[in-house]
């Protein structure tokens, strides 16, 4: 079995590659990644020289490069993680989000049609459902919840999802989609909430909480997400969407306070800053379908996962200090300088 994993030099894609190489050592894993600001080849250093693994630097929007790779590798399965993934950046400049997340997805699926595959899996997000009110804890996103997006990021992911279902219905492409809640764990780029707060805490820098910090996210340890995708590509039903989440809702402010406590830093570092435009209030996944049909359950408890994650950032300072030393400083200044 040969699997092309796009976006495998990013956060979830790299964790998925590690998971698959351990769980299925006989598979050939080919990572296709453009190495944008969010992709880092050093993340993959432990697998780069392994037999059964190949890295190819290319853009999923580059039809010629994508078709060439399919001709060389004859993949059985394609798992598409490649995306622009940060909501705040999509508010600054939507265009690259439309290009990579929508056009890139269509190029990959065109290649799948042309060369034939047994499964195309689209890694999507709970953000395509929009948000839920804070005062209705009884409401959850199911696979039937209508798409109702808020940001250019989530709109581009919803656009991709619609295309994936269209390729299934019109061309019979064997597709599946997973829509997961917020992930956390090793190798997450420090622009995202949890690693940003860990890095700032360690540098005794202000912790920029948007608004009151009352927005709720449903956190899942990245390895649990990777196991879910592994299960879906093997046992999921073609043409189906699977929500992935572990019923672990937390307010942003409580996550930041927890990180302060774990790192023995004062909560006085917390600084409330101007809210994100169009900020989604609450995400909450109902995972009944993947649990009932495929038997998936999350294994990592948040209390353990967050400790493990903080430990990882403490013991891998070289990985993220290198990242935040370069162009990230300009990004940080632009986003947080006058906020």
The CB-of-173 to ligand NAD minimum distance in angstroms stands at 18
Query: Given the rule CB under 6 A, which residues bind ligand NAD?
Result: 6-7, 9-13, 33-36, 38-39, 59-61, 81-85, 100, 104, 123, 125, 157, 180, 182-183, 189
Closest residue to ligand TDX using C-beta atoms: 125
Distance in angstroms (rounded) separating the CA atoms of residues 53 and 73: 12
- Using CB under 6 A as the binding rule, whether residue 215 contacts ligand TDX is answered as yes
Distance in angstroms (rounded) separating the CA atoms of residues 306 and 319: 18
Reading phi first (left if > 0) and then psi (alpha if -120 to 50, else beta), residue 52 is in left
Residues 6+ apart with CB under 8 A from 183: 11, 12, 219, 220, 221, 222, 225
Contacts with ligand TDX, 224-263, as mask; x by CB under 6 A: ----------------------------x-----------
Q: Is 127 a catalytic residue?
A: yes
Nearest to 165 by CA among 153, 174, 156: 174
SS3 for 126-173 is HHHHCCECCCCCCCCECCCCCCCCCCHHHHHHHHHHHHHHHHHHHHCC
Size of residue set near ligand TDX by CB under 6 A: 16
Catalytic entry in 126, 161, 191, 224: 126
Catalytic entry in 33, 59, 84, 127: 127
- Using CB under 6 A as the binding rule, whether residue 210 contacts ligand TDX is answered as yes
Stretch 81-140 residues interacting with ligand TDX (CB under 6 A): 85-87, 125, 127
Whether 79 and 233 have beta carbons less than 8 Å apart is answered as yes
Residues tagged active-site:
126-127, 153
Query: Which residues of the shown chain bind ligand TDX in the complex (CB under 6 A)?
Result: 85-87, 125, 127, 182, 192-193, 196, 208-210, 215, 217, 252, 276
């Amino acid at each position: 079995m040969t699997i092309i994993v796009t976006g495998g030099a990013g956060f979830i894609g790299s964790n998925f590659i590690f998971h698959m190489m351990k769980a299925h050592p006989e598979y050939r894993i080919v990572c296709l990644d453009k190495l944008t600001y969010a992709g880092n080849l050093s993340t993959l250093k432990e697998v780069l020289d392994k037999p059964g693994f190949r890295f190819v630097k290319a853009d999923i929007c580059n039809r010629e490069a994508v078709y060439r790779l399919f001709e060389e590798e004859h993949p059985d399965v394609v798992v598409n993680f490649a995306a622009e993934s940060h909501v705040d950046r999509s508010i600054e400049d939507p265009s690259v989000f439309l290009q990579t997340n929508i056009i890139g997805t269509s190029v990959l699926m065109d290649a799948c049609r042309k060369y034939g595959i047994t499964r195309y899996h689209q890694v999507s997000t709970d953000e395509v459902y929009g948000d839920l009110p804070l005062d209705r804890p009884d409401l959850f996103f199911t696979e039937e919840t209508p798409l109702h997006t808020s940001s250019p990021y989530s709109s581009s992911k919803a656009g991709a999802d619609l295309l994936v279902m269209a390729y299934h219905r019109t061309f019979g492409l064997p597709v599946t989609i997973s829509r997961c809640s917020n992930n956390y764990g090793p190798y997450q780029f420090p622009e995202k909430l949890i690693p940003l707060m860990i890095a700032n805490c360690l540098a005794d820098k202000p912790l920029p909480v948007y608004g009151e910090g009352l927005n709720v996210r449903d956190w899942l340890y990245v390895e649990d997400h990777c196991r879910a995708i592994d299960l879906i590509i093997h046992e999921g039903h073609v043409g189906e969407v699977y929500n992935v989440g572990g019923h672990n809702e937390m307010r942003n402010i409580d996550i930041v306070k927890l990180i302060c406590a774990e790192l023995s830093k004062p909560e006085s570092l917390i600084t409330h800053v101007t809210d994100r435009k169009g900020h989604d209030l609450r995400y909450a996944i109902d995972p009944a379908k993947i649990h009932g049909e495929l038997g998936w359950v999350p294994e990592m408890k948040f209390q353990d996962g967050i400790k493990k994650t903080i430990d990882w950032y403490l013991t891998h300072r070289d990985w993220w200090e290198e990242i935040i030393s370069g162009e990230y400083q300009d990004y940080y200044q632009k986003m947080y300088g006058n906020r």
